[in-house]
Structure 1
Amino acid sequence: MFERLRPGARHQSKPAAPREPQDPPPTPPPTPSPAQGPAPWWQRLAVPAGFILLFLVLLAPGLLTPRHEALKLPYTAFSAKVDAGQVKTVSIDDEGGVDGKLADGTKFTSRVPTALSTADLAQRLQARHVQITATRTGSSPWAGILMWTLPLVLIAGLFLWTGRKGAAVPSTGGFGRSKAKVIEAERPTTRFADVAGYEGVKQEIGESVDFLRTPERYAAAGAEPPRGVIMVGPPGTGKTLFARAVAGEAEVPFLSVTGSSFVEMFVGVGASRVRDLFAEARKRAPSIVFIDEIDAIGGKRGGAVPGGGHEEREQTLNQLLAEMDGFDQASGIVVLAATNRPDTLDPALLRPGRFDRQVIVPLPTQAERAAILAVHAHDKHLDDGVDLDRTARGTPGFSGADLANLLNEAAINAVRDGRVTITARDLDAARDRVMLGRRDGSNALLPEERRSVAVHESGHALLAALCDHADPVAKVTILPAGMALGATEQLPEAERHLYGEAYLTDLLTVRLGGRAAELVVFGEGSTGAADDLAGATRIATRMVREFGLSPALGPVGYGTGDPGFLGPGQDGARPPYSEATQRLVDEEVARLLRDAEQRATAALLAHRPALDRLTSLLMEKETVDGGAVLDALREERPGNGAARADVRPATVAQGVV
C-alpha cells in the first residue's frame, strides 16, 4: 500500500461510546512506608550551620587580620615626610605595603610602587634613624590550615549526611532512585471515552487493562496477558494521551516515566533506576508502568544507529530486558511504552515475551478528524455556519495536536477581531496560518512580481481543473504568507489510500503547472518554481525507485524500510544499488519531469485565454475559489481551445477551511 504523498494528517476519531460501569475488584492498598519521627534539632540545623561556617572560613583572611583606621598617604607624601624626618617607624611587606607611625604618634599606610627600587628608600630611612621592620603578607598559619581543611571536612560531612538519606546509591544522594510519577487509583482523570476514535487501538490496549481488572477471565481460558505493549506512530497522534486513559480505565497505580530520565552522568545510575522502578511496581501490584520516548534507552546496541553504542545506555537497556523477563505474569504488572522511532529500537526489546504487542497509532482519518475537532471545540463558541466535517476534509495529514492547534489559532483570530465566536473565516485563516505561515501586510510585491505570481498560481489551478485525476481546486491566492508568495489549495474529494500511476502523473503535471505558465506567458522561468520542482522531483524519484513505475528500470523497488514517522531518513545513507542503477534512476526521473512539463505547457497553450482571464481576476481580487477557475474555462470562445466537456462543474469546494 502506498503512503500518502501529500503532507497533511489523517487522524483522530469519532467520539467513543460511553464506558459501561462495572465494579472493579478491590485492589490492595500500597504498602505504607515505615513511619519516621521528626529529626533531632541538631540534624535540622547541621546543614545551615555548615554552610554558614564555610562562608566564614572563606572570609577568614579578612576576619583574622584586623585593620585599624589609619592615615592613607600617597607615596610622594610618604617620601616627603621621610625626608623631613617626620617618620618614626615603618613596616614594609614583600608586596610593597607600608604601615608605620609618624613622630607625633599618628599611624599611616602607604605603598611603594613595585617599579621603583627600594634600596634608595632604605638608605633614606636609615639616614633618618627610622626603625624598619620587614613582614610577609598573609594571615596566621592557623587561618591557612582552616581555609584548606575545613571546607573539605564540611563537604565530606554533607555527602555522608545526604548519603544516609538516599535509599539506592548512598554515595550519590539517591541518584539511583526512579523518577517515576505515581498516579494512584483514586485519581483517574482521563478515560477512553475522552479519546476520539481509534477503536482498534483502544481494543488492543484495553485488553491489557481488562486483565488487570479481571484476571480470572483470561485464566479460565488459559490465555496469558501481554507483558508489554509498545505504541508507535507519528508525533501528535495521542500516544501519551492513550497512556493517561489507560491509567484512568485500569483504576490501578500508574507509574509514568520518560526514557531520558534513566540517563545520568554517573555510570550505573540508569540501571539502578530501572531496578527501583520495577521494585516500586511490584510493591504496588497490580500496576502499570509507562515509559514514554523509550528510544532514549532502547536503541540498538553496538551499532551506528543514533541512540545505540553507548555503554551507560546499554547497561540501562540490559537491566530493562532483565526486569521484563524477571517479573511473573501473575504479579499483575503491564509495561506500556511509546516512541516515534521504532526503527532504532533493539530487536531484543521487541521480541515476544517482552513487548508482545506493537500498536500502530496512525494519523487520523477524515471521520476521526471530525470527531477530534468536536472534542477540542466543546469549550469554544462556534458560529452556526461552521462545518467541522468540511474542516476535517480540508485538513488531510493533520494529527490530533495539529487539529487542537488549528482551533486554538482560530480562537486567537476571533479575539484579534474583538469577537468570542469562531466563524468559518477564522478557521480558514487558521488553516492558512498553520500550513503557510503568518500573512504579513508589509510584505508587498512589486507590480511585475505580483503579475508573475498570478500567472504561476493560475497555471497550477487550471491544470488541476483540466487533469482527470487531480484533486479539485478549493482556493487560489496571491497574498504572501510565510515563505510562500502565493498558494493553490486543493481538497481531495475522498481520502485516498492507494495512488494509481495516472494520479501520480497528473500530480506531477499540476506541480509543474506554475513553471509551465511562466514559460508560456513570459518565455522564461523564475525562482518561484523552486519548491514545486523539489516536490515533483521527490514524487518522481519514488515512482521510479520504490513504486516500480519506470519501464526502463522495471518492477524493482528500493524502499528505505523507514516507517517515516519523523519524515524522510538521512540523505547521506548509501543507496542499496550500484552507481549504474543510480544513473538510470536519475535519467528516468528527468524524463518523467520533462514529460510532465511538456504536457502542462501544451495544455496551457491550448487554454491561453482562460489563463489570461484567471490571471486578470487574481490581479483584481487577490483570492478566488475553485468556482472561478471553472468559470474561466467555460468562458473560452470556440476555436481558442475549448475546455473539456467533462470538467467537473460542481465538485470543487467553494473556499477552504
Structure 2
Amino acid sequence: MDAPDSNDQRKPGFFGRHQWIRWVALSVLLIAAGVYLFSIALPGSSAENLSYSKFITAVEAGKVSEVSISTDGAAAGKYVSGTLFTTAIPVIDEPLLETLKAQKVDVTAVPAATSSIWSTLAGWAFTLLPFVLLGWLWWRMSRAQGDAQGLFGFARSKGKLFESTGPRTTFADVAGYEGVKAEVTEIVDFLRTPDRFRRLGAKIPRGALMVGPPGTGKTLLARAVAGEAGVPFFSVDGSSFVEMFVGVGASRVRDLFKEARSRAPAIVFIDEIDSIGQRRSGTTSFVSNDEREQTLNQLLAEMDGFDAASGVVVLAATNRPDLLDAALLRPGRFDRRISVPLPMVSERRAILLVHCLGKPIETGVDFDVIARGTPGFSGADLANLANEAAIEAVRNSRDSITQADFDAARDRLVLGRRDNSTVLLPEEKEAIAVHESGHALVAALCPRADPVSKITILPAGESLGATHQLPEVERHLYGQDYLADDLAVRLGGRAAEIVAFGQGSSGASNDLLGATALATRMVREFGLSPRLGPVSYSRADNGSGSVFDRPYSDETQATVDSEVARLLREAEARAIQLITDHRRVLDLLSSLLVERETVDGSVVYDLIAAESSTVTGAGDQRRRA
C-alpha cells in the first residue's frame, strides 16, 4: 500500500482540514473584543454632556473650575466639585450669540463629526481586504500548480517519498517474473553492499528501463527493489514535470535529484517516462515543445551529473519504448532494458493466488484451469478477475468463491456483460445464432485454430453475440497455416450467413475489420505474399510527424490491396466450403443457441463427432451392401 501523504495527517475538527479558518475566526473575535474593551476604558466616557446654554449658565454661576476648548468647538471641563463634562462651542457671530442669550434661547452646539474607532477599523479593513484576497488566491494557485509547501514552492518536485521505515514491498509481493527479479537483484545488492562492487571496479547501471504492456506490475516491481534494498523510494509520474510555464519541469527535475542525493542511497522511479522522454523534434519539425524538451535536457544532465557511487539509482517504466529519445537510452543513463512481458501460465497461477489471499475460496477450485483460460491477461487483469469472481459470489448469495464464479467473471471480462433483456426480433435472433455457429464450426474444423470454449448470443453493448476461443498453449510465433485458419474463423460468421440465407449482413462489420487488418499485416509486414516476396512495408514511425510517411509507391500499394483482397476471398471460400460440407451441424448448433442462448464449446465437437460417426456408419452399410 502507498504510504500516507503527510499533508493528509490532520486531525478532524470543525472545518475539517481547513484549520486556518478556525484560527482566523478566533483572531478576529479576539481583536474585536480588545477594541471594545479599549473603547470602554477611554477617558471621558463617563463625562456629562452639556448644551451650550447650560454651560454658560454654569460658568456665570461660578460652578466651572476649568475648561479646554479645541479649534473645532469641542470643549471638555471640570466642575468645582470635580465632576467632568463635555460641550461644544457654537461658531457664530458674537452679535447673534448675544441676541440669542438676551432672548433666553437655549443654544446647543454640535461638535464636528469625528471618526470613531469602529469606522477607522472598517476603513482599514476595506482597504486591506483586496490585498488579502489576492495573496490568498496566489497561495492557493501555487499549491494547486506546484503542490508547494508554501507560497513560492511552485517549482518544487512532485515526487512522493516512501521511507524505508514504513511498510515495505518486497519480492514476495511480486508473484512470478523470476527472470525479471534475478535481473534487478544486482541493483538491490549494490544498494545493500556497494563496497563489494567497488573493490572489483564494477559500476552499477545508473538507470534501468522497465518495458512492458500496461498492468504487468512495473511500478510494483520498482517498489519491491526499494523494499528489498531498504532505501528511500521516490515515485513520480513523467507527466507531473510538464506545466504550461517554460522552465518549471526542469526545475522540478533538479529538485527531485537534489532531494534524492540528500537521502542517498535511494531509488528514483519515473513512471510513464515517455511523457517527457519523447524524441526531440529537431530542426525540420514544424511543431516543438520547448517545455518538454527543456525538461528532457535537464533529466539527461542530471543522470550524467551524478556519480554512480553516490548510491542513487533511477528506475523508469514505459509501454512505448519506441517513442524515447536515443540520448536517454545510451550507456551512462538507462544502461539496462528490463522486459516485463505478460505473464505465462505458471506466473498467472501464482499471481491469482496472491490476489486471492484473504478471500474465501471453495475447495476444488482449479487455479491451473483458470490460468490456462486467461491468456493475454496482465497482473492488473488477474486482480480484476479475482475481484469480479468475489462480486459474482456475493451476487449469488454464496459464502465462498467457486469455480463457476471465476468462469462467470472471465466471461464478463472477455465477452462483456451479457444482457438477456435486450429484445430482438425472432429473425434477428436466428441470424445471430447462425453467425456465431459459423465462427464456432469453422474454428472446430480448422486444424491449427484455437479450440472453441463458449458461444453466446446474449447481447453486450454493440456486440449481439460472441464466440470465445481458448488457446491450448502460449504462442509466441505464428505460422502461415495458423494465420490462414485465423482468417477463415474470422470470416466464418459471414460465410454461415451466405450459406444459410444466401446473403451477408451488417453483423460481420467487426469481423471484416479484424480480418482485413490481419491480412494487411500478413502482406505488408510478414512477407507472406508471393507477389511482393520477403519485403517489409511496415509504417515505421521516423519521428518526423509527417502524415506522408508511407515507405512505398502507389503501385506497391495497389499490389498490397490486391493481395489483401485475395487472402480474404480465399479465406471466405474456404469457410463457405467447410460450412457447406457440415450444414447439418450448423443447423443443429444454431437451433441449440436459439434455445439455450449460451452453449459450451464441447457441444460443437460432440456434434461434429456425431456427424462423423453417422457418415462412417452409412459408408460401412453401403460397403457391406
With the shorter chain as reference, the TM-score category is 0.7 to 0.9
What's 1:8 paired with? none
Q: Specify which of 176, 182, 188 is matched with residue 203 of structure 1.
A: 182
Q: TM (normalized to structure 1)?
A: 0.71
Deviations 1:588-607 (A, max 9, x none): 00100000111111111111
What's 1:309 paired with? 288
Q: Is the 8 A contact 1:610 1:635 kept in 2?
A: no
Pair 1:239–1:304, CA change in 2 (3 A): farther
Which range moved further: 206-215 or 338-347? 338-347
Q: Relative contact order (C-alpha < 8 Å, sep 6+): which is higher? A: 1
Pair 1:287–1:642, CA change in 2 (3 A): farther
Aligned-pair CA distance for 1:310? 1.5
What's 1:596 paired with? 571
Pair 1:641–1:590, CA change in 2 (3 A): farther
Q: Specify which of 226, 246, 251 is matched with residue 247 of structure 1.
A: 226
Aligned-pair CA distance for 1:634? 2.6
What's 2:311 paired with? 332
Q: Specify which of 616, 619, 628 is matched with residue 603 of structure 2.
A: 628
**Cα distance in 2, alignment partners of residues 238 and 643 from structure 1:** 58
Aligned-pair CA distance for 1:153? 4.8
Q: Secondary structure at the match of 1:444?
A: coil
Residue 348 in 1 paired to residue 323 in 2? no
Matched residue type, 2:392: N
Which range moved further: 383-392 or 320-329? 383-392
What's 2:593 paired with? 618
Q: Secondary structure at the match of 1:438?
A: coil
**Cα distance in 1, alignment partners of residues 509 and 178 from structure 2:** 42
Unaligned stretches of 5+ residues in structure 1: 1-43, 57-141, 564-569, 645-657
Q: Is the 8 A contact 1:197 1:371 kept in 2?
A: yes
What's 1:260 paired with? 239
Which range moved further: 149-158 or 545-554? 149-158
Pair 1:643–1:358, CA change in 2 (3 A): farther
Q: Secondary structure at the match of 1:463?
A: helix
Pair 1:50–1:572, CA change in 2 (3 A): farther
What's 1:100 paired with? none
Pair 1:513–1:46, CA change in 2 (3 A): closer
Q: Secondary structure at the match of 2:611?
A: coil
Q: Secondary structure at the match of 1:381?
A: coil
Which range moved further: 620-629 or 360-369? 620-629
Q: Is the 8 A contact 1:460 1:513 kept in 2?
A: yes
Q: Secondary structure at the match of 1:425?
A: helix
Pair 1:403–1:637, CA change in 2 (3 A): closer
Matched residue type, 1:615: S
Matched residue type, 2:590: T
Q: Secondary structure at the match of 2:315?
A: strand
Matched residue type, 1:457: E
Matched residue type, 2:511: D
Aligned-pair CA distance for 1:516? 0.6
Q: Is the 8 A contact 2:142 2:154 kept in 1?
A: no
Cα RMSD, aligned residues only? 3.7
Matched residue type, 2:331: P
Matched residue type, 2:243: E
What's 2:170 paired with? 191
**Cα distance in 2, alignment partners of residues 356 and 643 from structure 1:** 69
Question: For residues 373-522 of structure 1, what are the structure 2 equivalents within 5 Å?
Answer: 373-522=352-501
Structure number with the higher helix fraction is: 2
Q: Secondary structure at the match of 1:635?
A: helix
Matched residue type, 1:456: H
**Cα distance in 2, alignment partners of residues 406 and 170 from structure 1:** 41
Aligned-pair CA distance for 1:225? 0.5
Q: Is the 8 A contact 1:270 1:313 kept in 2?
A: yes
Q: Is the 8 A contact 2:362 2:401 kept in 1?
A: yes
Pair 1:441–1:571, CA change in 2 (3 A): farther
Q: Is the 8 A contact 2:192 2:229 kept in 1?
A: yes
What's 2:518 paired with? 539
Matched residue type, 1:579: D
Q: Is the 8 A contact 2:268 2:314 kept in 1?
A: yes
What's 1:281 paired with? 260
Q: Secondary structure at the match of 2:201?
A: coil
For the pair shown, the structure with the greater C-alpha radius of gyration is 2
What's 1:229 paired with? 208
**Cα distance in 2, alignment partners of residues 161 and 504 from structure 1:** 61
**Cα distance in 2, alignment partners of residues 164 and 537 from structure 1:** 52
Q: Secondary structure at the match of 1:374?
A: helix
Aligned length: 507
Q: Is the 8 A contact 1:474 1:491 kept in 2?
A: yes
Q: Is the 8 A contact 2:142 2:148 kept in 1?
A: no
Deviations 1:272-309 (A, max 9, x none): 22111111111111111111122222222225999x93
Pair 1:168–1:196, CA change in 2 (3 A): closer
**Cα distance in 2, alignment partners of residues 482 and 180 from structure 1:** 40
What's 1:575 paired with? 550
Aligned-pair CA distance for 1:144? 13
Aligned-pair CA distance for 1:342? 1.7
Aligned-pair CA distance for 1:48? 4.1
Q: TM (normalized to structure 2)?
A: 0.74
Aligned-pair CA distance for 1:571? 12
Q: Is the 8 A contact 2:207 2:313 kept in 1?
A: yes
Q: Is the 8 A contact 2:390 2:405 kept in 1?
A: yes
Aligned-pair CA distance for 1:147? 9.3
| Seq. identity, % | 64
